[in-house]
A and B are shown apart, each in its own frame.
Chain A
Amino acid sequence: MPVPEHHEFFIDPNRCIGCQACVQACAECDTHKGHPMIHLEYIERSESTQTVPVICMHCDSPTCAEVCPADAIKKTPDGVVQSARKPRCIACNNCVYACPFGVPKMQTDFDLMMKCNMCYDRTSVGKKPMCATVCPSEALFFGTREEVEARRTRSRPVNEFKFGRQTITTKVNMMVPKASTHEHVDVTSQMQGEGRRLRLNVLSDSLYEPGSA
């Protein structure tokens, strides 16, 4: 069965608290039991507690599938990019290195690429993916557009990402501020990491040093 069209994935890394409930729950999904497919990344722990959960964005034109020499990565008609087909995957790592979001994982043990498939065993029967069900911060949210519009009054979803000159559109949405005028998220703008300023320098700014008052 396909994933119902009105169920969509909305992610908001800004909400992430790094608890790794998603990682632990991901390993419980029947299509990849014991192997968490989600990435939980500490951006730079020495500077900040900022973390990001990365799931497959399910690109409209998936680079991973295009660069696969074995033709092993397939998108189902509902737009979900599936894990490599087991008989075909030759474990070459092309998808791992080429995915613009850094999603696929090589299971070196058994020569197979596996990736987030939106918990297909759950979403194809109308349930939510494991990560989005348990996520305590709702950084990972799975639901209808109406639900998101009602709950996220300050944000709006976008599904366009820029990498250098390449624009990629995805099935999964990312929440950006309503106040922002950008129609896409420019990933390569962060080579120097302007977004790190999000740690707000709060500690040094609001620490009291005698004589500074």
Chain B
Amino acid sequence: MRKEIVKATTAGVLATLLLGALVLIGSRRLQNFDAALVAYTFATVFAVFGVVYRYAMWIQRPPTAVYFRRGWQVFLNPKWLGRNTIELSKRLVSGFALNAFIWRRGKARWGAHWLIMWGCLIAAAITFPLVFGWIHFEAPLNEFDKYTIFVFGFPTITLPVDSFLAFMIFHGLIWSSFLVIAGVMLAFRRRMRDHGAAALQQFGEDILPLLLLFAISITGLAIWASYKFMGGYAFTFLSVTHAATVIFTLLWLPFGKFFHIFQRPAQLGVAFYKDVGESMPPAKCARCGEGYAPQMQVDDLIEVQRRLGYTYEMESESGADHYQRICPRCRRSMLALAQGSLWYQAREHESVV
């Protein structure tokens, strides 16, 4: 077995074990664990293994490894740590909470993503603790019109059943379904009318995730509607369908588009890497002498390319030891000049003057 696979498998197993332990502890030895949700729990455990395994594989790829290492290095460097922390909070708000970069890509695209993202985050924040038995509700003694919320077995707040806050909390999954459904609708609208998207989208990568989110949300809502308004009509069928969609989604988490949820935070590391790179003198192109990239990144890229097996090394008399030391503009120019020189050589035989 390859070294990376061993590492990744170990990480996956450790993470799975950790989750198992947390479930045991959090649910007070399964005392608060809802046995009806056991299928969800097992799906989550598999998902955690898959996600961690894949994440570990991913950060071991040469370019990612370099970035991962460098990202932490520059972030934790005491020289920049203060500034980095401030920047981090700013970037968390603009990039993650608000999705500002997606807003600039397109308003409709932003609307879809923002609604889906917040819908999923809220739903996850409710569902996973419930499933793991980390949260449960109990009526305090002799107070049947109140609920106490227990987290990891510890009592937290107590609120009246008919209070607004209770209404909001107990219907949290309903609200998140509405957000997700609205987002999915917007996303589908864009995918159906945008000619560019139509050409590029793939079923597995782009359509299936939307379908899954839609299915989870709509079956979840239907369960609620069934027990609330329809006297439990088709309740079992709906529960099973809902469970099936959720479990499928969980199992699919490491493989498809949803994996970007875990990759995306790397953007923060990159931002710090760029900050630091830009604060230093840039690499100068070996051909034209203009600055074109952070020196650190050029050096890192040479290392990455070497580890990937590329041989962009050059003869030193040409003026550079590695092709990476030449700016993109000169690369484009040289391509034309190289072709031009072939024509020049060919035409020397037929020169008219």
Contacts and interface: CB of A to CB of B under 8 A. Distances in A.
Given A97-B324, A163-B312, A177-B343, A195 B338 contact: yes
Given A52-B336, A69-B266, A177-B346, A94 B200 contact: no
A179 interface: yes
Interface string B103-137: 01100000000000000000000000000000000
A92 B323 contact: no
A14 B340 contact: yes
A99 interface: yes
Contacts, number: 226
A192 B102 CA distance: 43
Given A70-B263, A205-B353, A110 B101 contact: yes
A32 B323 CA distance: 29
Contact of A163 (B274, B298, B323): B323
B305 A188 contact: no
B230 interface: no
B335 A67 contact: no
A43 B336 contact: yes
Nearest to B335: A187
A96 interface: yes
A13 B340 contact: yes
A88 B260 contact: yes
Nearest to A121: B199
Interface stretch (B44-52, B60-68, B138-146, B161-169): B60-68
Given A97-B293, A187-B331, A195-B344, A86 B105 contact: yes
- Most chain A CB within a 10 A radius of its CB, from B266, B322, B343: B343
- Most chain A CB within a 10 A radius of its CB, from B61, B311, B312, B328: B328
A91 interface: yes
A82 interface: yes
Contacts of A186: 338
A20 to B, nearest CB: 15
A12 B336 CA distance: 9
A54 B346 CA distance: 23
B293 A50 contact: no
Contacts of A102: 327-332, 335
8 contacts: A41-B336, A63-B305, A88-B263, A101-B332, A110-B104, A121-B200, A177-B345, A179-B346
Interface of A: 12-14, 16, 29-33, 39, 41, 43-44, 50-52, 54, 63, 66-71, 82, 85-88, 90-94, 96-103, 109-112, 117, 120-122, 124-125, 161, 163-166, 174-180, 182, 185-198, 205-206
